[in-house]
Structure 1
């Protein structure tokens, strides 16, 4: 097998391809990440100028890599779309993505993103856009928090068919444990900063998820929809490989 067809894990740790970095004004773009980690470097757009984001996207595009930019405004996305007209912007998730990072996927995996309340929608949509950028199907199940359990039970059969699940919840964040109790797949719990005073900007939700008695729950940072979506996408990758070769 020639080197072009080896898997990511068989690449030398510091070969030219896996360690390639492009220095541009204001950033050092890690082009080797796609080979080391399976996907290109993701751009955190908050506090970055439009010009800097465009320079990063040009560097990735020149290397044949798809891009995902999180936490950007509609105005910034519009400026980027003028240069990259094929890009897709989600106003709900504040994410911009170019073509799927793995357009070669013949069979996409499926990730369910379950949110407790309407106010959690931004974080849930960030997770969904990340999953779609990775080439998988992302199904959103909004506003199914534990205060109205019948809402969750109505969609549970659909959630149970997913390769991985992301649960997004603020306040006491009980939803993660409840959902996980019905599933045999990993559940990536994303606490949000939604809630009144004692919620302490998501710390109570974070603590509740970390203290979950459900064995299949893993927790990421507060409001980190990208991280939850990315981890779920990696699980979908492996599931697809197992079932479809």
Structure 2
């Protein structure tokens, strides 16, 4: 008869191979950029099993869209991980790698856009880039973004998260030399259609050098920014 599990231990209801095939070679294949685990659609048990496997392999990993319950499970398996509840992101190990490449500046139009912007910032930082955040600089008060112009112009890539009308990336792209990664957020009243309005604004930008990721995709924006800055002087 199999022994009873110890208190606090976990016995998986199904093997890892039944729901996940982890890409352990991705970091080697992608120049050190490791696999991320999207937790939002997964059960707590599945996230825990994935974390256990990654811990055994010592694989640097980002866990994105983490619920509070999933964050608690990850803290049990990876007690030395860093967790940011605002960004819904857990990074293991907690310390990012030494920063290389160019500077990434992450700006958000309003405080309501901060969770998405923070996800982008932490992603780029844990992929090995120096990151500076600029918050609450939306176009309703243009003096605010202009007050950070020297910093924005020192970046090798700027990530801009904005909801509502989504105008901020176009403004920033008209002021800086660096490429701009635009992130539409689902912030806004009814006609913003959950982020569709800012998405269309950003796709229709008249400022050159704007790349657009999907709605609320802070991880995708941070990853792209890290890739761009990697090949920039810094």
Per the normalisation by structure 1, the TM-score is 0.83
Specify whether residues 126 and 106 from structure 1 end up closer, same or farther in structure 2 by C-alpha distance, changes over 3 A only: closer
Q: Is the 8 A contact 1:100 1:134 kept in 2?
A: no
What is the CA–CA distance in structure 2 between the aligned matches of 1:237 and 1:100, rounded to whole Å? 21
When normalised by structure 2's length, the TM-score is: 0.87
1:115 to 92, 108, 112: 108
Q: 5 Å matches for 1:76-91? A: 76-91=70-85
Structure 1 stretches of 4+ with a deviation exceeding 6 A read none
In 2, the alpha carbon distance for the partners of 1:207 and 1:144 equals 20
- In the TM superposition, what whole-angstrom CA distance separates every residue of 1:2-31 from its partner, at most 9, and x where no partner exists? xxxxxxxxxxxxxxxxxxxx9633211111
Per the TM alignment, residue 102 of structure 1 is displaced from its structure 2 partner at its CA by: 7.2
Question: How far is the alpha carbon of 1:58 from its aligned partner?
Answer: 2.7
Q: Deviations over 1:130-170 (max 9, x none)?
A: 11211222211111000100111111211221221100001
> Which of 12, 27, 36 in structure 2 is aligned with 1:34?
27
Greater RCO, 1 or 2 (C-alpha within 8 Å, sep 6+): 2
Question: CA separation in 2, counterparts of 1:201 and 1:107?
Answer: 36
Alignment of 1:51-70 (within 5 A): 51-70=45-64
Unaligned 5+ segments in structure 1 are 1-21
Structure 2 CA distance for partners of 1:178 and 1:28, relative to 1, 3 Å? same
Q: Name 1:182's counterpart in structure 2.
A: 175
Q: 2:224 maps to which residue?
A: 231
Q: CA deviation at 1:35?
A: 2.1
Which consecutive residues of structure 2, in runs of 5 or more, have no partner in the other structure? 1-14
Query: Aligned pair count?
Result: 219
In the alignment, what sits opposite 1:164? Answer: 157
Cα separation, partners in 2 of 1:199 and 1:68, compared to 1, 3 Å: same
1:92 corresponds to: 86
Deviation at 1:231? Answer: 0.2
